[in-house]
Structure 1
């Protein structure tokens, strides 16, 4: 087996293993946050959680597949390790970027839902009439 094929195999295996671990961790630890985002609707939160994991997998597996190609020769083990590190770094940056994008989007939804709830229970403002003060 030449170094390019070995690098491909290591890249695919490590990238997909890290993607699996991150998706599983986010699925388990994000469940409580999603229940809060969905105003206590745990069924909806669970459904959204599963959909987020599916989307997470599709985007990351697609990125891993697209970034698989090595453009130049890999003459020695050092070059293979450098290629592998570069590709894994890109995967980790994409994973982190997706995670923060999801957090930002979900936090916006959470804030708007909490604001809607506050508006619904807040008392109506008393109109101010300057004529009554005079």
Structure 2
């Protein structure tokens, strides 16, 4: 079997496995964060979480497929390891960048919600009182 094909198979198996593992981990642990961002609306948090996971799969697996192409022929085992490690390193960096981007956006939404909640007075105004003399 051609070593380039071996490198392709290893790259696809590991990168798809990593993508699935990261997506499940982010989905499971991110649900709590989304619940806070969305003010405890569990149905909306689940829906947004699912949409984020689907988008994550589409973007990352699309990148993995596009990055599969290898221009040079691999002739030895060292070439297989170098090619696979380079490709997996780039995939992991893309996974990390996507994760940080999601967390950044969701944190901005969360902070905006916290600021809106803090602007509401804890007790509605009961009436107007004239300032005391000498104050």
**TM-score, normalised by the number of residues in structure 2:** 0.89
CA offsets per residue over residues 53-98 of structure 1, 9 Å max, x none? Answer: 0000000000000000111121101011100000000100000000
CA offsets per residue over residues 99-128 of structure 1, 9 Å max, x none? Answer: 00000000000000111111123679xxxx
Residue of structure 2 in register with 1:17 after alignment: 17
Structure 1's consecutive aligned runs of 4 or more residues displaced over 4 angstroms after TM superposition are: none
Query: RMSD of the alignment, in Å?
Result: 1.7
- Is 1:116 paired with 2:119? no
Unaligned regions of 5+ residues in structure 1, if any? 125-131
TM-aligned CA deviation for residue 47 of structure 1: 0.6
Residue of structure 2 in register with 1:63 after alignment: 63
Alignment: residue pair count: 127
Residue of structure 1 in register with 2:96 after alignment: 96
Q: How does 1:78-89 map to 2 (within 5 A)?
A: 78-89=78-89
Unaligned regions of 5+ residues in structure 2, if any? 125-132
Residue of structure 1 in register with 2:50 after alignment: 50
